[in-house]
Homo-oligomer: A and B are copies of this chain.
Amino acid sequence: MNAPEDDPLLGQRVMGADLRDAWAVLDPEARVEGFRYLTSAEAEEFFLELNAHDRALIVLALPPVEQRWWLRALPPDDVADLIQEAPEETRGMLISLLDESTRRDITVLLAYSEDEAGGLMNPRYARLRSSMSVDEAIGYLRRQTRERVENIYYAYVLDEQQKLVGVVSFRQLMMARGDARVREVMVTELVTVQDEMDQEAVARIFAQHDLMCVPVVDPQGRMKGIVTADDIVDVVREEATEDIQKIGGSEALDAPYLQVGLLEMLKKRAGWLIVLFIGGTFTVSAIGHFQGKIASVGYLETFIAMIISCGGNSGSQASTLVIRAMALGEVRLRDWWRVFLRECAAGLSLGAILGTLGLLRIVVWHHLFTDEAGAPMYGDQYLLVGITVALAVIGVATWGTLVGALLPFGLRRLGLDPASASAPLVATLSDVTGIMIFFSIALAVLSGTVF
């Protein structure tokens, strides 16, 4: 191995900050190499900042003695995440490096899926009995601190069956008389989460109650661990990232943008684009179907793009608003009728504003411009053309808004992710119908006069 001053990556001694900056562009080997140049203090700080995937990469590249060291530097929930990110065949080896009590904790954690409360929780928490005195409790917590219980700020009071009966904050213990019993000080009205609750629901509970920490219980009420707010910050960021990526019409990337390989990136993006493209080909048939009938008013076709994009835009707005409101728990499945009514009103109003603009555009152009033959633009029937366009815009905007607002409900009803009602999907769905609405209105309005 080269001496630090010959470092091939950075030309100088690697500092944590340099490595952090370069991390995204380094390939796995260079990452491991860079990491090994850090001083041990820097390496520890750096390691603790990495995500589970990168931690697994580093640990697997180190000799066994160091592997054991790094695994022991992490709390059990982070060890479990690291092991879940490691290749299947290395997991047994990694688990064998742990001490007996951590191994037990990890086995419990690995039984849960990563996105459940049980997969997020830390199985080491401070426990008390309700019959202890406050002074005994403080001393007992002090001992638990030495046994690697990290969070002693809330202590959970369990009965003989490990059922959670109360919680007491360290602050409350400090303020209480030393000879009071824990049962007199503890709070018994508890916010808890079920071990199999989805992490998004756990995050909503944190936000609603402004919690720092929540106990996780199994269906029998037995305490399994605690979830802390720092884990929830990560959950909220990840869930929002997934939703935003889906709203944009790709699959969730599951890794930082610059770290996803091109092939992987194409896989995540091509699927939806292909589906949408096939959906888009129906517009070809739709336009073809009407083309013969309106050929005599050729300039009608020039409005196609404007009118359908109007439906797509209205729909994208409505779907993203509804998707986010659902994710935040502001709108539930049973609210669909209220959302429908609101969006009818919104779609019609927005359509009316845009339709008026469309009508104005045609009137103004008629008076300002001439067509290729020198006649005023849009001919004598320019008002009828304007009314056709205005009505089409109202119809398309309302339709797009309703499709966008109701599609997330439909997806959730089917057990799918509402965020899949992406802006492009809503736009594509409203394209075909937009064309039909436009040309149908055109045929109806103009039939007596032009044809």
Residue A284 lies at the interface, judged by CB distance under 8 Å to chain B: yes
In the complex, how many angstroms separate the beta carbon of A276 from the nearest chain B beta carbon? 5
In the complex, how many angstroms separate the beta carbon of A98 from the nearest chain B beta carbon? 21
The stretch among A54-62, A102-110, A111-119, A319-327 that forms the contact with chain B is A319-327
Residues of B within 8 A of A211 (CB): 230
Please tell me which one of the listed residues B153, B306, B317, B431 contacts residue A249 in the complex, with CB atoms under 8 A apart.
B317
Residues of B within 8 A of A82 (CB): none
Counting every copy of the chain, the complex holds: 2
Residues of B within 8 A of A100 (CB): none
Residue A207 lies at the interface, judged by CB distance under 8 Å to chain B: yes
In the complex, how many angstroms separate the beta carbon of A357 from the nearest chain B beta carbon? 6
Residues of B within 8 A of A349 (CB): 262, 266, 270
Dominant SS among interface residues on chain A? helix
Residues of B within 8 A of A397 (CB): 273
Q: Which of A79-133 contact B (CB under 8 A)?
A: none
CA distance A328 to B255 in the complex (A): 11
Are A273 and B354 within 8 A (Cβ)? yes
CA distance A304 to B291 in the complex (A): 13
Q: Given the interface contacts A175-B146, A328-B256, does A345 sit within 8 Å of B291 by beta carbon?
A: no
Residues of B within 8 A of A175 (CB): 142, 145-146
5 A–B contact pairs at CB < 8 A?
A146-B175, A206-B233, A258-B325, A269-B317, A270-B350
Interface residues of A (CB under 8 A from B): 24-25, 48-49, 141-142, 145-146, 150, 152-153, 170-171, 174-175, 203, 206-212, 228-234, 236-237, 240-241, 243-245, 247-250, 253, 256-259, 262, 265-266, 269-270, 272-274, 276-278, 280-281, 283-288, 291-292, 295, 298-299, 301-306, 308-310, 312-314, 316-325, 328, 330-331, 335, 338-339, 342, 345-346, 349-350, 353-354, 357-358, 361, 372, 393, 397, 422-424, 427-428, 431, 435
